[in-house]
Structure 1
Amino acid sequence: MQDIRVQKTFEALFALEDIREIFRGTLPTGLNETEEQEFQKKISALKKVINELESGTGKPEVFRLAGNLPVRDREESFINIQPIQAAGKLTVDARKALIAYGDGYSTCDSCKKPFRLDKITKPGIADFHSELADFLNMDEARVVPGARRGFQAVASSLLEKGDIALVSSLSHYTEFLSVENAGGIVKEVPLNENNIITAEATAEKIEAIIRETGKTPKIMMMDHFDYQLANEHEIKEISKVSHQYDIPLLYNGAYTVGVMPVDGKDLGADFVIGSGHKSMASAAPSGVLATTEEWAPVVFRTTQMKGDLTERKFGIKEVEMLGCTLMGGTLFSMMASFPAVKERVKHWDEEVDKSNYLMDRLLSISGSKVLSEYPRKHALSKIDTTDSFDTVAKSHPKRGYYLSDELSKRGIVGLFPGATRAWKLSTYGLSRDRVKYLGDSLVEIAEKYGLEVR
């Protein structure tokens, strides 16, 4: 369904990069005769693409980059409902920042003593760290290469071999790995009949652990909204239970930080972790780890190591951060998107409303169910179409692949090919027109194959 103008937009961007490359190789005094000729040649090529873009004519000229990378137009040519991609789509300013700051160590143009990322003032990386902490109502923050590296930093700081970490029964696998990497042991809090982690169940699990092991967990890692069902768990009440047992709480905000308001101190969090590439409109890998004055000296401890021969010391380099963390385009995409991120969290109710609209449309198809808690409190949902779309798959020549094919024909992507039973989708960031189109498309497909629509 690609509009040729999408293709020509990419080709124009690529043509501008070709022109830019000329300036990257010339002397500061300007272009020489050969370079000027090449410049004029590239300008002519760009004008041709611009003319085709304006008129909506021409044919695709660039199919792959560097020989094997297809041009990715998923966000320009389709409605993308893939849950892990929805809130990570870059803002226009972030895309511009990647163009300007995509070079490796672009953060380091003006790096001066004390030679640490969060201390750089030009551009305002130091200020950005302070703004992140304020945004989450925490005392200190660091950018990290994804939420998983935040989990790892906290786990390695607080856990020793054999220590227990308490997690949700719906926790992400990276929480398990971070505990295992630190030599710890995972214990899970069970779900109730509604697939919710409650404060009561958390307290009961802690008591059971103490009875069985004689030890209290050293850390609690708890999702606000989990990644499997996007159900809301009793995070504020759980934090109170956690602190009654003197267990620090790690708030997993991979699906909240950057899309909805998060007040770490109000929630009772000792650590708040967010994902830049999942929920903050940033390039991957990126994320944030924020903490309180009490725990900052622990998780952001500085190196004490000294070389035995050279007696070298590395001063204020932070051990768990391995010194600096995001050194280029990832960080600047995060910074460039931040004003928009701060604004969009104020409109979370609108995102939830769109999610519920789509779920209502889906439920109008007989046999369809919402596996997540309903009404929805999040833009991500898990649904069950075993008794609706999957009944068609049983006799369709393409089996379960027919549904993703039907959606793709309508310009909708993000459903795993072959999925017709339990599957996830997200409406985050979609306009109301797009959400309505999505709902209409699901109903249209159902009617096409004779499913009852109420």
Structure 2
Amino acid sequence: MECDDYRLTRTLERENLNLNPLQRGGVLTADAREALYEFSDGYSICDYCEGRLDQIKKPDINRFLDDLADFINVDVVRTVHGAREGKFAVMHALCDKGDTIIVDGNAHYTTHLAAERNHLKIIEAPNNGYPTFEIKSETYRQVLEDAIDKTEIKLAVLTHVDGDYGNLTNAKAIASTCKRLGIPLLLNCAYTMGRMPIDAKDIGADFIVGSGHKSMAASGPIGVLGMTSEWEDTILKRSDRHEKKEIEMLGCTSRGAPIATLMASFPHVKARVQRWNEELKKTRHFVKEMEKLGEIIQLGVKPKEHDLVRFETPIFDNIARSHPRRGFFLYEELKKRRIVGIKRGQTRWFKCSVYSMTMEQIEYIIDAFRDIIKKYKS
């Protein structure tokens, strides 16, 4: 009898330097790896549950959620299966079919999908185009004010830092506009919560979502949904038939390794956000040295305010046109040097991040790009 073999191995992080910005903030701590082993069984977190995940005291999820709320300065926190599920839950609780919401032009595709799944109409506040692709607070305000004159707006959604250009928006200014117009604001912090300091009340956001597996050193999938007390009864409304269960959470969310690793990494995450200025300094150095190589241009707002960097790279695109491996040459040259995270076949542009890397590692990466250019330009 034939037996299927689904053995899985992954040595990427152990054997290479990974530039993928999706993963830089999600690399597990040693404590999280231990928790991953201990809580790897499917429902392992539920051994002492009496019906409410957020009230479990062994492990102490109840206290953890209080600490997490303090960390991002909200009144109430729940874990969800990802930032996208948090966005969906807020839209579903606040909006009816056919309602209209405002989103920014750099919104993640999951913002659109959450809206589509809720049968909502979207009005978009555009970015300012090449080369910065910035979401201006004045543009967002104008779009919102114009929309209100024509229809009722149930919710405003803003991407704190986008996944295309790594631009940090002026969330505080946009939140002020929303507050003045009486529109609740949902801030998508998938790329910021757990990497840089976040203060939701100082910003003025009504709701905030984050990603444990993207930016909080958790195995995931897991997200964070925070809110002010004003919205607690709406978002966390309980079932009529199952009185302990919160409807938008579908009763419970993370029940095993995702929340265990999020909890285990939390002390490390709290400490590392205090070193955010050091991370910015490293990113800006990386950008400066990469641009010195010639025909490599950082897109997005300058100077960088986030570790996610998008480079336009005509130098590599020109090499690819005459290289026998075409666009695959850059990926393969980097892989020889134990550098990964740039997608196969991508030479016109790429996204990357050196978050949490040492200066020695960053210099090695810069030297690797320099060597590749020298090899094909000579």
TM-score for both structures, normalised by structure 1:
0.81
- The residue number in structure 2 matching 1:357 is 285
- Give the counterpart letter for 1:239 in structure 2: A
SS of the equivalent of 2:326 reads coil
Match of 1:375 among 303, 307, 314: 303
Query: Is 1:330–2:247 an aligned residue pair?
Result: no
For 1:364 and 1:446, how far apart are their aligned partners in 2?
A: 12
For 2:203 and 2:251, how far apart are their aligned partners in 1?
A: 29
SS of the equivalent of 1:423 reads strand
For 2:265 and 2:312, how far apart are their aligned partners in 1?
A: 34
5+ long unaligned stretches in structure 1: 1-65, 305-312
- The residue number in structure 2 matching 1:401 is 328
In the TM superposition, what whole-angstrom CA distance separates every residue of 1:136-190 from its partner, at most 9, and x where no partner exists? 1000000000101001100100111111111010101111111111221111001
Match of 2:178 among 242, 245, 248: 242
For 1:186 and 1:358, how far apart are their aligned partners in 2?
A: 37
- Give the counterpart letter for 2:362 in structure 1: V
In the TM superposition, what whole-angstrom CA distance separates every residue of 1:80-122 from its partner, at most 9, and x where no partner exists? 001111111111111100111111111111123xx10000111
For 2:300 and 2:134, how far apart are their aligned partners in 1?
A: 10
- The residue number in structure 1 matching 2:143 is 205
Match of 2:18 among 80, 84, 102: 80
Please give the residue correspondences for 1:215-294 in structure 2 after superposition, counting only pairs within 5 Å. Answer: 215-294=151-230
Match of 2:312 among 384, 405, 410: 384
- Give the counterpart letter for 2:84 in structure 1: R
Match of 2:91 among 155, 172, 178: 155
SS of the equivalent of 1:394 reads helix
Please give the residue correspondences for 1:44-83 in structure 2 after superposition, counting only pairs within 5 Å. Answer: 67-83=5-21
For 1:450 and 1:141, how far apart are their aligned partners in 2?
A: 54
Superposed displacement of residue 131, structure 1: 0.8
Which of 1 and 2 has higher RCO (CA within 8 Å, sep 6+)?
A: 2
Q: Is the 8 A contact 2:128 2:134 kept in 1?
A: yes
Q: Is the 8 A contact 1:231 1:378 kept in 2?
A: yes
1:76–1:111 distance in 2 versus 1, CA, 3 Å: same
Superposed displacement of residue 354, structure 1: 1.1
SS of the equivalent of 2:25 reads helix
Q: Is the 8 A contact 1:206 1:216 kept in 2?
A: no
For 1:129 and 1:288, how far apart are their aligned partners in 2?
A: 10
Aligned-pair identity (%) = 41
Match of 1:431 among 341, 358, 365: 358
For 1:244 and 1:157, how far apart are their aligned partners in 2?
A: 22
- The residue number in structure 1 matching 2:42 is 104
- The residue number in structure 1 matching 2:127 is 191
For 2:144 and 2:262, how far apart are their aligned partners in 1?
A: 37
In the TM superposition, what whole-angstrom CA distance separates every residue of 1:56-88 from its partner, at most 9, and x where no partner exists? xxxxxxxxxx82334100000000001111111
Bigger radius of gyration among the two: 1
SS of the equivalent of 1:378 reads coil
TM-score for both structures, normalised by structure 2:
0.96
Aligned residues: 373
CA RMSD of aligned residues (A): 1.2
For 2:171 and 2:332, how far apart are their aligned partners in 1?
A: 39
SS of the equivalent of 1:166 reads strand
For 2:273 and 2:179, how far apart are their aligned partners in 1?
A: 28
Match of 2:272 among 344, 347, 355: 344
Superposed displacement of residue 352, structure 1: 1.0
5+ long unaligned stretches in structure 2: none
Moved over 3 A (4+): none
